[in-house]
């Protein structure tokens, strides 16, 4: 730990409480200071809220830290001396990446190389999020393990795969593939859009033959918190809610939880929509590797139910 005695009594008290709670899981690399990049992103709000009671979290958005600037990243590391870096920054305009490839590659790929280099020099843990778009199986193989062959066909998928490779250069790292994120702020995912449409009485057209494993941002944030400073080996993990279904399945469960008329949900074939960037049609991910280390994520229907309760409470 880099903190010196008496450096900050409040921080020390937080840290002491955290050690008492999870000392069995994190005996080797204590974490006290966390740098959260991409603070304006959808996942970041949930991660920040989950980590703030446990660590001293500095959350920087693009205006405060442009991760594509090597000098800016190096300066942030010198000033903040983080024990862990959680990278939520991402160029996630999937179709836009086909037209802005250089920007997507800079943010999703080359910038991660900079973060990994600085993390290695500081002996800091790097947490980086990737995507199911690195896959593109031609038939339904069932839930994909981390070892499944990658075949990204979109610029977005290629840029995220490059980021995975760079992130794994950090001696201490967790590369977490997430998929179909929903919840959080700003709420801008496909599921968030479906919920808004259904609550307004509109019709949702969902793919009946595109398979996904949705990821609730609060469950991903919880898994991230459990990994930080833990004894779980560094590596690549699928961090998605358990189970999988078609987008039609997801929309149907969502409508039921919202109390919406089920007739508002209709299935359409994946081939019916022309998109600039190719999407993987079968993208069910297995989270068994994380579960084997005691980091389990709830089933996606349970996550949808909690998501709707949060919407109602808001």
Which of 19, 56, 13 has the alpha carbon at shortest distance from 34? Answer: 56
List the one residue out of 81, 59, 61 whose CA is nearest residue 4: 81
CA-to-CA distance for 166 and 182, rounded, in angstroms? Answer: 26
Helix (H) or strand (E) holding 177: strand 173-178
**Cα 172 versus chain centre, distance:** 18
Beta bridge partners of 36: 59, 86
Structure tokens at 139: 């038939």
Residue 186 burial (C-beta neighbours within 10 Å; 0-12, 13-18, 19+): exposed
Q: Which of 55, 129, 156, 174 is catalytic?
A: 156
What span, in angstroms and rounded, lies between the C-alpha atoms of 74 and 69? 9
List, in order, residues 6 or more apart from 302 with CB less than 8 Å away. 241
Sheet hosting strand 33-37, strand order edge to edge: 56-60, 33-37, 84-87, 125-131, 173-178, 235-238
The neighbour count for residue 310, using CB atoms within 10 Å, is 13
**166 tagged catalytic:** no
Alpha-carbon gap, residue 182 to 193, rounded angstroms: 9
3-state SS, residue 207: strand
Active site members: 156
């Amino acid at each position: 730990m880099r903190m010196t005695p008496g450096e900050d009594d409040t921080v020390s008290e937080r840290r002491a409480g955290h050690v008492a709670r999870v000392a069995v899981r994190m005996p080797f690399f204590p974490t006290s200071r966390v740098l959260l990049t991409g603070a304006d992103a959808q996942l970041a709000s949930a991660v920040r809220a989950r980590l703030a009671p446990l660590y001293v979290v500095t959350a920087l958005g693009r205006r405060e830290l442009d991760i594509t600037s090597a000098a800016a990243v190096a300066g942030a590391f010198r000033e903040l001396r983080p024990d862990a870096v959680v990278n939520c920054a991402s160029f996630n305009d999937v179709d836009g990446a086909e037209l802005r490839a250089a920007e997507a590659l800079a943010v999703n790929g080359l910038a991660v190389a900079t973060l990994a280099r600085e993390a290695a020099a500081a002996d800091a843990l790097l947490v980086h999020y990737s995507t199911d778009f690195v896959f593109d199986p031609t038939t339904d193989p069932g839930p994909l393990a981390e070892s499944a062959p990658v075949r990204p066909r979109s610029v977005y998928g290629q840029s995220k795969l490059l980021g995975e490779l760079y992130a794994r250069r950090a001696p201490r790292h967790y590369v977490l593939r997430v998929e179909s994120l929903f919840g959080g702020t700003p709420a801008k995912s496909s599921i968030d859009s479906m919920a808004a449409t259904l609550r307004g009485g509109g019709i949702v057209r969902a793919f009946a033959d595109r398979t996904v494993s949705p990821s609730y941002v609060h469950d991903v944030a919880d898994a991230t918190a459990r990994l930080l400073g833990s004894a779980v080996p560094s590596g690549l993990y699928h961090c998605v809610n358990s189970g999988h279904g078609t987008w039609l399945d997801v929309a149907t469960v969502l409508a039921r939880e919202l109390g919406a008329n089920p007739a508002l949900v209709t299935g359409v074939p994946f081939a019916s929509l022309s998109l600039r960037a190719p999407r993987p049609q079968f993208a069910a991910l297995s989270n068994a590797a994380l579960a084997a280390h005691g980091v389990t994520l709830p089933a996606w229907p349970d996550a949808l139910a909690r998501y709707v309760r949060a919407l109602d409470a808001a």
